[in-house]
Amino acid sequence: MTTFDPCWLGSKRLPEVTIHASGALAQTIRAEFRQTPRLRTELEVALCTIGRLDETPLAGLIRQVLPTDGLGDEGFVVMRQGNNLVVAAEAGRGLLYGYFYLLRYFEWMDGDFTVVERPAIPVRMLDHWDNLTPHPVMGSVERGYSGGSIFFRDGRVVEDLTRVRAYARLLASIGINAVAVNNVNVHAAETRLLTDHLPDVARLAGVFREYGIALHLSVNFASPIELGGVDTADPLDERVARWWSSAVKRVYDAVPDLGGFVVKADSENRPGPHTYGRDHSDGANMLARALAPYGGTVFWRCFVYDCHQDWRDRSTDRARAAYDHFIPLDGRFDDNVVLQIKHGPLDFQVREAVSPLLGELQETTFALELQVTQEYTGQQKDLCYLGPWWREILHFDTTGADGPTVAERTKAIVAVSNIGDDPNWTGHKLAQSNLYAYGRLAWDPSADPVSLLHEWAAATFAMDDRTRSELVAIMADSWRTYERYTALLGVGFMVTPGTHYGPNVNGYEYSAWGTYHFADRYGVGVDRTVATGSGFTGQYPEPLAGRYENVYTCPDELLLFFHHVPYDHVLQNGRTVLQHIYDTHFQGYEEVEAMLTRWKSIADRFDPTTRENITPRLEAQLANAREWRDQVNTYFYRLSGIPDAHGRTIYR
């Protein structure tokens, strides 16, 4: 029998449970329960749909707490009174989530209580950047740091879907209800392969269906000459629309409940003159109309910018691009188009401003896009728990004046997955926490990231409370530690080009992809003000725009994202910019050193496989932090000639 790392589902037990429900997802729950170890207790536990509530002893009490507008397809109630505990839901998906809630918290379910749960965000999705074709590597994953694809080998869907089923189970347990299985940077040839192997796609969809997860496909329509012999990619050309209508029908004949398509708008792949018609709304709407009869959705990824910039031209600003492209189109997209917007205007940096599109789109449905795979945040070599960063983004006030948060405005949340065929799924064992936190925050953006770490650790490892607290202490602030020894005050892209790992201060500074720090002998930072810079601050509403425009009210952590300042500019924290650069890089290294020491003090309490996975990675992280510290500090010392105020070693 094939086995996999059970992650946070490995140590759970339940008492006997009576299930009053029918249907495919009820069968999934029964199968789940059969493989869950039993726990002896006097508690009587029942799961039921609302239509069969009278078969449980708490029917009357549960009806009293049901929301007036219902639980919806995914909500559930958990109630305990005395020795009776009932989980109730309107539909199978809600009951499945209720079952996993029971599994997650049962050992803490003491005394009488009532919980009513409904997800805050309707669509909670993971995008996989798995390559179907043998280019560049068979079964490879773009920006994947955990081995190869669990879905594809040799240009086809894998024969044995056992691991895919185990993965679907993990996703359902944290509330994920949608998944795109192939790379958004898809080639037209791969789109054709998918449509040529629809029975295999149907097998994948069938496994995810067992866990209430809708399958989506990434497609490319920029090269239809490869797809169907049409000599144009113009979505306004009827031949293109007919080809896609026919292709969509074939897909839905094979997978009737397909969620829809994910499309990358442009950026690295510069569109041709007729790729999107007059603008992006033409291309998105053409696909949306092909999908509409089947209930499908187009997730149109708004990662757009000129990838052939001249670094000499300081008026060019990649950060402006998504807003400039899509705000003029607000309201011109069909109802089944979702604009998928990166959390920041650049590219998943360890710190950047929240994208103004997330607050300024008024008439178009949009999704917040995050990145669970650690492309710019340590690549699952360095420990970097991202839950605190995501919560900041979800709770960002989009007006700056007690207006709606990002979480309140978005109808979907999407993230790039961090899993692969590594034995523990994520390469770094502790990186499993990011997948867990993403799912839990997507369901409930108000969840506390540190509490989620405790949840994850307690479910993942057999250890005492003191050891768990030590592990959580190591992990909880690791994102800020990573920020301290890498980026500074909102500057990004000081990474090795291509791999995006390790320091290279000028790696992208003179590239066609943009310019990101403009450091010289006098100062550092990008002037994005309206008064003297690219005008990016003007894309935010007031009072946010004014707060970012003013060098003295701009938050310290974003100062160099919005302003070019001299090295002796004094931050709100009382330090000069240059001294802050020195201090944080020394501090970040010391924090990694302390993390490693703390881990070694508890490592022998973990199993050998876990120790052998984590210890060398933390040791390598310390070496990486040293390189970042010394290269960044030396770079700015050589430019400025200003020594560290504390006399610490900076290499010349």
Catalytic annotation, residues: 268, 347, 375
Can you tell me whether residue 166 is helix, strand or coil?
Answer: helix
d(CA 208, CA 195): 19
Query: Secondary structure of the chain: what % helix, strand, coil (to 5)?
Result: 40, 15, 45
* Residue reference for tokens 């070599």: 381
Residue 262, both tokens: 């994910």
- Sort 287 into a burial class: Cβ within 10 Å, 0-12 / 13-18 / 19+: buried
If you write DSSP's letter for every residue of 216-252 in order, what string do you get? EEE---S-HHHHHS-S---TTSHHHHHHHHHHHHHHH
In order of 130, 154, 187, 192, 220, the CA distances from 136 in angstroms are 11, 12, 12, 17, 17
- Single-letter amino acid code for the residue at 398: T
* Terminal CA-CA length for the chain: 58
In eight-state DSSP terms, residue 621 is H
Q: Give per-residue burial for 242-268: e unless 16+ CB within 10 Å, then b.
A: ebbeebbeebbebbeebbbbbbbbbbe
d(CA 391, CA 396): 8
d(CA 529, CA 424): 46
In order of 61, 63, 86, the CA distances from 53 in angstroms are 10, 9, 9
In order of 198, 221, 262, the CA distances from 243 in angstroms are 17, 10, 18
**In this structure, are strands 565-566 and 523-524 parallel, antiparallel, or unpaired?**
antiparallel
In eight-state DSSP terms, residue 414 is E
d(CA 387, CA 385): 6
* Residue reference for tokens 């879907």: 161
d(CA 595, CA 336): 47
Look at the alpha carbons of 143, 147, 148, 151 in this order and tell me if their dihedral is positive or negative. negative
Report the 3 state secondary structure along 471-540.
HHHHHHCHHHHHHHHCCECCECCCECCCCCCCECCCCCCCECCECCCCCCCCEECCCCCCCCCCCHHHHC
If you write DSSP's letter for every residue of 628-648 in order, what string do you get? HHHHHHHHHHHHH-PPPTT--
> Degrees (nearest 5) of the Cα angle 286, 290, 291?
115
d(CA 150, CA 168): 11
Residue 587, both tokens: 């501090």
d(CA 564, CA 528): 8
Beta strands in 350-408 (DSSP E): 366-371
In eight-state DSSP terms, residue 571 is P
- The contacts of residue 206 (CB under 8 Å, 6+ apart) are none
* Residue reference for tokens 């029942």: 46
Residue 42, both tokens: 């006097």
- Single-letter amino acid code for the residue at 184: V
d(CA 115, CA 327): 40
